[in-house]
């Protein structure tokens, strides 16, 4: 099942996507949280439809436009990206190129936007905006002290996240919250796919393009710390709640990996695709 939140006929609605058709399942006043509430309910059966509409007749929003909490993010989680970041001059995290333990930070929930929404690069006074295509993991039930062997029992599904970043702000503040939490800097979507939709997680390929030029290409198997390790690490000391989202890290090929760095500017277009999870596209303004 692929869960979506969208605008149609001037109202926010929620439902499921199948091919080019959306089944409208919630068109009430709280439809902007309907996907989140569906995740939190633990319901895994079909979502009863009210009506159907063509996907071409709607504007897709982030599938979870208003999560309960900030996005949980993982830094330096592909070997080649860890190296390019470490060597870029923008890494203020320490001497270690490849981390010995997962690097965990958060990204403001207020930065979330949906597919085709503008990413406002003008909000970054340093003009150092960069892209980071990532696999997002959606938690399905309360998780505390989860063993790696049981981690997937707590996964509801998957989505695409673009962890857009101001590199200078990230470096300047010696941590990543400010440089990654700017408004519009967290595109998400186009849908949340339940985990039964993904048959070979390790084989999922992530591809990021800027203006049609492929910049990033990797498979999930290349993660330094896999999804069970991330869930076990986070829940060893903190509780994950249903609807929490983990952005699992970005592969090599970001703008600071170029010499000199290549930052985003108004008029650019980013496309992040993951096998079976669609394509998340956003223009830069």
CATH class of segment(s) 71-283: alpha beta
User: How far is residue 40's CA from residue 111's CA, in Å, rounded to a whole number?
Assistant: 22
Please give the pLDDT value at position 92: 66
Positive or negative, the Cα torsion across 224, 230, 236, 238? positive
User: How far is residue 177's CA from residue 244's CA, in Å, rounded to a whole number?
Assistant: 17
Domain boundaries, the chain: 2-60, 71-283
Task: Answer yes or no: is pLDDT of 215 > 90.
Answer: yes
Task: Answer yes or no: is pLDDT of 97 > 80.
Answer: no
Phi, psi (deg, nearest 5) at residue 4: -135, 155
Burial class (CB in 10 A: 0-12, 13-18, 19+), 99: middle
Q: 93 pLDDT band (50/70/90 cuts)?
A: low
DSSP class of residue 8 equals: E
User: How far is residue 42's CA from residue 139's CA, in Å, rounded to a whole number?
Assistant: 11
222-227-233 Cα angle (round to 5): 120
Could you read off the pLDDT of 130-140 as tens digits, one per residue?
999 999 999 99
Could you read off the pLDDT of 161-202 as tens digits, one per residue?
999 999 999 999 887 899 999 999 999 999 999 999 999 999
Could you read off the pLDDT of 195-213 as tens digits, one per residue?
999 999 999 999 999 999 9
160-38-282 Cα angle (round to 5): 25
Nearest Cα residue to 91 out of 192, 2, 176: 176
């Amino acid at each position: 099942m692929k869960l979506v939140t969208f605008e149609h006929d001037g109202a926010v609605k929620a439902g499921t996507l199948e091919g080019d058709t959306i089944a409208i399942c919630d068109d009430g006043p709280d439809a902007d949280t309907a996907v989140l509430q569906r995740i939190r309910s633990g319901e895994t059966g079909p979502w009863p439809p009210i009506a159907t509409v063509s996907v071409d007749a709607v504007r897709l929003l982030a599938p979870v436009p208003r999560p309960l909490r900030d996005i949980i993010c993982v830094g330096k989680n592909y070997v080649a990206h860890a190296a390019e970041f470490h060597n870029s001059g923008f890494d203020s995290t320490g001497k270690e190129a490849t981390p010995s333990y997962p690097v965990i930070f958060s990204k403001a929930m207020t930065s979330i936007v949906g597919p085709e929404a503008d990413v406002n690069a003008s909000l970054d006074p340093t003009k150092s905006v960069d892209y980071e295509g990532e696999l997002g993991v959606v938690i399905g039930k309360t998780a505390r002290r989860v063993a790696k062997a049981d981690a997937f029992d707590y996964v509801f599904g998957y989505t695409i996240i673009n962890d857009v970043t101001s590199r200078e702000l990230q470096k300047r503040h010696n941590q990543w919250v400010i440089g990654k939490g700017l408004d519009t800097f967290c595109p998400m979507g186009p849908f949340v796919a339940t985990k039964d939709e993904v048959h070979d997680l390790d084989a999922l390929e992530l591809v990021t393009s800027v203006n049609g030029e492929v910049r990033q290409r990797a498979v999930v198997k290349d993660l330094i710390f896999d999804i069970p390790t991330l869930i076990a690490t986070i829940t060893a000391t903190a509780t994950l709640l249903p609807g929490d989202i983990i952005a699992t890290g970005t592969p090599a090929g970001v703008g600071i990996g170029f010499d000199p760095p290549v930052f985003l500017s108004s008029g650019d277009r980013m496309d992040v695709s993951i096998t079976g999870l669609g394509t998340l596209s956003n223009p830069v303004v």
